[in-house]
């Protein structure tokens, strides 16, 4: 009985020594209890989520508090991404980030506006001098909002270390109530070696899960042979909301021996695109499901793995039987188990894997230039993770690059020669990616050199040339020409462009640039009269909006102020 007692003594020590992060240094950034719409490192499109998304009771304008003493080290304002974002650097070297804000606290907002008016731009990146904007722990530094790429009001909160690596804020004691186990919704098995087979097939197989009375799962027996790997689809739910958030760790063992482990404590922004190597990218492109591979595929250099044996792969011999277990845990240690029995059996009738053969083969470690008709595609060395046959075709200004299920590590270049178009038409052309089942044309950032239009992309799929001859539309929403607006707080204008999209806008009152905040989700530009850029009597407002091929529209109106 002495050994269990000793273990009991050791457990708190081990837990303590594994967490080198200060527990009371940072306080909650909102005054309301933390309810999460998203967790750290949650699987998102082409990136791991770099912070936690704290729900704001469907409201904007909640006070956002500095998590600790420090100084404002960065202010980044963009219509997209983080929206209005504030960065506070603390004496212990960590930086906290607050994003999708509606506005900043008055002294910080004043600093920002001065710079926006000086640079004549709403979008701006500022690094204030170290002691210019000091803040105290608990001080109101901003108000929550829904700006940028935010799908509903919430606060995106991050903690970064000195190297700008985001860390899981839960490691610092910023957590939420969680007594629920992670949810498991899918299991896949992958043949890896050429001779590998799973359930009498040489291609990946979806494995049926059976839920047990205790909430855990069993699967199988799978009949397998050769080198294989497994993949799981799992999310975590916490007590105070039903949002499907990311899990914290996944560990596996085969016949009692640990063979794979991943945890979501920290990552680097340089590796975030490699999420596409962690997941089954092919299934993600087809169904938007995130199947996490429980093995480290070739060219996967993510830093999230540890203690793996043979990169998490299993080698199954004929006439054997084994038990594979997957443990999926959340930060609070609630765990769901999947127990998979695997019977080693080689079926001589199953063929070895033979990919679809096309004339174009991608070697991931070689460059390749593809040319047909007026299209050139430049794939660089290490553009992809895999070697694969590419289906490359060009017809009627449309490029086809298939299959879409291979992820790119970096951009490749797609170029169209437009010499055959007349001069006037050339100016209206852009490259569109045809997206989704309906092949909707979506503007791909198009550059031009003489008679070549080109774009950089990571997406296989379809690309075409589209002509945009229609200028953006501009509509006043809360005023009319020659109106008295003495008691108005804002000027609001709706701007839209239906082909290439809005590229730029410039607003002036009485000939001087004024700040209009752009909300792309509602297509609304807003000027705040509190900026005090108007005069008594008549004011002349002018707005020029330009689309991505350079078509522009001008709107003018006068209004009066007391």
How big is the chain by its Cα radius of gyration, in Å?
28
Work out how close the CB of 398 gets to Zn ion at its nearest, in angstroms, rounded to a whole number: 36
Stretch that binds Zn ion, among 45-53, 126-134, 225-233, 256-264 (CB under 5 A): 45-53
Q: Which is nearer to Zn ion, 157 or 384 (CB)?
A: 157
Task: For residue 90, state whether it binds Zn ion (rule: CB under 5 A).
Answer: no
Select the residue interacting with Zn ion from 53, 397, 492, 547 (CB under 5 A): 53
Q: Which is nearer to Zn ion, 84 or 156 (CB)?
A: 156
Work out how close the CB of 401 gets to Zn ion at its nearest, in angstroms, rounded to a whole number: 31
Cα–Cα distance measured from residue 232 to residue 326, given in angstroms and rounded to the nearest whole number? 9
Work out how close the CB of 52 gets to Zn ion at its nearest, in angstroms, rounded to a whole number: 7
Q: Which is nearer to Zn ion, 97 or 415 (CB)?
A: 97
Residue 96 sits at φ, ψ, to 5 deg, of -105, 145
Cα–Cα distance measured from residue 75 to residue 92, given in angstroms and rounded to the nearest whole number? 20
Cα–Cα distance measured from residue 420 to residue 397, given in angstroms and rounded to the nearest whole number? 11
The encoded tokens of residue 311 equal 């990169």
Stretch that binds Zn ion, among 49-57, 178-186, 339-347, 420-428 (CB under 5 A): 49-57
Work out how close the CB of 85 gets to Zn ion at its nearest, in angstroms, rounded to a whole number: 11
Residue 484 bridge partners (DSSP): 560
Beta strands 36-38 and 205-206, pairing class: unpaired
The encoded tokens of residue 248 equal 């914290």
- 516 with 504: CB under 8 angstroms? no
Neighbouring C-beta atoms of residue 72, cutoff 10 Å: 26
Work out how close the CB of 156 gets to Zn ion at its nearest, in angstroms, rounded to a whole number: 3
- Local structure of 337: helix, strand or coil: strand
Q: Using CB under 5 A, count the residues that bind Zn ion.
A: 2
Stretch that binds Zn ion, among 47-55, 212-220, 325-333, 534-542 (CB under 5 A): 47-55
User: Using CB under 5 A as the criterion, what x/- string covers residues 100-139 for binding Zn ion?
Assistant: ----------------------------------------
Work out how close the CB of 158 gets to Zn ion at its nearest, in angstroms, rounded to a whole number: 8
Please give the full DSSP string across 382-411, using - where no structure is assigned. TSBSS-EEEEEEEETTEEEEE-TT--BSS-
Stretch that binds Zn ion, among 1-9, 51-59, 221-229, 280-288 (CB under 5 A): 51-59
Q: Which is nearer to Zn ion, 39 or 526 (CB)?
A: 39
User: Using CB under 5 A as the criterion, what x/- string covers residues 140-179 for binding Zn ion?
Assistant: ----------------x-----------------------
Stretch that binds Zn ion, among 50-58, 356-364, 494-502, 526-534 (CB under 5 A): 50-58
- 530 with 492: CB under 8 angstroms? no
Cα–Cα distance measured from residue 186 to residue 207, given in angstroms and rounded to the nearest whole number? 8
Stretch that binds Zn ion, among 48-56, 140-148, 416-424, 444-452 (CB under 5 A): 48-56
Stretch that binds Zn ion, among 23-31, 52-60, 126-134, 209-217 (CB under 5 A): 52-60
Q: Which residue has the tokens 């708190």?
A: 12
Neighbouring C-beta atoms of residue 472, cutoff 10 Å: 24
With CA atoms as reference, report the closest residue to 24 among 68, 79, 78.
Answer: 68
Work out how close the CB of 151 gets to Zn ion at its nearest, in angstroms, rounded to a whole number: 10
Work out how close the CB of 70 gets to Zn ion at its nearest, in angstroms, rounded to a whole number: 21
Cα–Cα distance measured from residue 530 to residue 514, given in angstroms and rounded to the nearest whole number? 12
Work out how close the CB of 49 gets to Zn ion at its nearest, in angstroms, rounded to a whole number: 6
The whole-angstrom distance between residue 310's C-alpha and the CA centroid of its chain comes to: 30
Chain residues in the site for Zn ion (CB under 5 A): 53, 156
């Amino acid at each position: 009985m002495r050994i269990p007692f000793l273990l009991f003594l050791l457990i708190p020590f081990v837990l303590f020594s594994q967490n080198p992060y200060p527990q009371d240094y940072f306080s909650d950034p909102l005054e309301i209890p933390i309810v999460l719409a998203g967790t750290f490192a949650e699987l998102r499109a082409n990136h791991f989520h770099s912070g936690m998304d704290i729900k704001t009771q469907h409201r904007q304008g909640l006070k956002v508090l500095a998590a600790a003493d420090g100084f404002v080290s960065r202010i980044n304002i963009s219509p997209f991404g983080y929206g209005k974002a504030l960065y506070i650097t603390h004496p212990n070297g960590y930086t906290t980030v607050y994003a999708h804000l509606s506005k900043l606290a008055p002294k910080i907002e004043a600093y920002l506006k001065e710079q926006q008016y000086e640079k004549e731009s709403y979008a701006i990146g500022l690094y204030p001098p170290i002691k210019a904007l000091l803040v105290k722990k608990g001080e109101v530094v901003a108000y929550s909002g829904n700006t940028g790429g935010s799908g509903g009001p919430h606060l995106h909160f991050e903690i970064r270390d000195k190297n700008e690596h985001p860390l899981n804020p839960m490691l610092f004691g910023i957590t939420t109530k969680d007594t629920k186990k992670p949810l498991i919704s899918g299991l896949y098995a992958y043949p890896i070696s050429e001779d590998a087979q799973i359930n009498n097939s040489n291609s990946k197989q979806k494995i049926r899960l059976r839920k047990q009375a205790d909430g855990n799962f069993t699967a199988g027996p799978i009949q397998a042979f050769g080198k294989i790997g497994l993949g799981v689809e799992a999310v975590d739910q916490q007590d105070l909301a039903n949002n499907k958030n990311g899990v914290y760790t996944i560990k596996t063992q085969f016949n009692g021996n640990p063979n794979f482990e991943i945890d979501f404590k920290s990552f680097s922004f340089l590796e975030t695109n490699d999420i596409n190597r962690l997941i089954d990218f092919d299934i993600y492109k087809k169904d938007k499901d995130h199947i996490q591979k429980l093995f480290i595929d070739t060219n996967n250099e993510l830093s999230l793995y540890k203690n793996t044996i043979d990169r998490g792969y299993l080698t199954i011999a004929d006439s054997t039987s084994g038990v594979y277990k997957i443990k999926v845990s959340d930060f609070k240690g609630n765990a769901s188990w999947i127990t998979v029995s695997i019977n080693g059996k080689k079926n001589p009738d199953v063929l070895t894997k033979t990919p679809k053969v096309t004339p174009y083969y991608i070697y991931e470690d070689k460059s390749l230039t593809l040319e047909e008709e007026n299209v050139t595609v430049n794939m660089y060395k290490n553009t992809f993770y895999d070697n694969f046959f590419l289906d490359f075709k060009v017809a009627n200004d449309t490029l086809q690059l298939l299959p879409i299920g291979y992820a790119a590590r970096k951009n490749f270049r797609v170029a169209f020669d437009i010499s055959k178009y007349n001069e006037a038409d050339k100016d209206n052309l852009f490259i569109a990616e045809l997206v989704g089942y309906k092949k909707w044309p979506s503007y791909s950032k198009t550059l031009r050199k003489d008679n070549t239009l080109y774009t950089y992309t990571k997406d296989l799929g379809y690309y075409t040339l589209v002509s945009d001859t229609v200028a953006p539309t501009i509509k006043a929403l809360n005023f009319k020409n020659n109106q008295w607006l003495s008691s108005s707080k804002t000027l609001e204008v709706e701007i839209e462009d239906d082909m290439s999209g809005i590229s730029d806008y410039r607003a002036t009152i009485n000939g001087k640039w004024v700040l209009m905040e752009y909300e792309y989700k509602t297509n609304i530009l807003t000027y705040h009269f509190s900026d005090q850029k108007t005069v008594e009597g008549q004011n002349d407002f002018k707005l020029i909006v330009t689309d991505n091929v350079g078509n522009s529209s001008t709107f003018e109106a006068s209004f009066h102020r007391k």
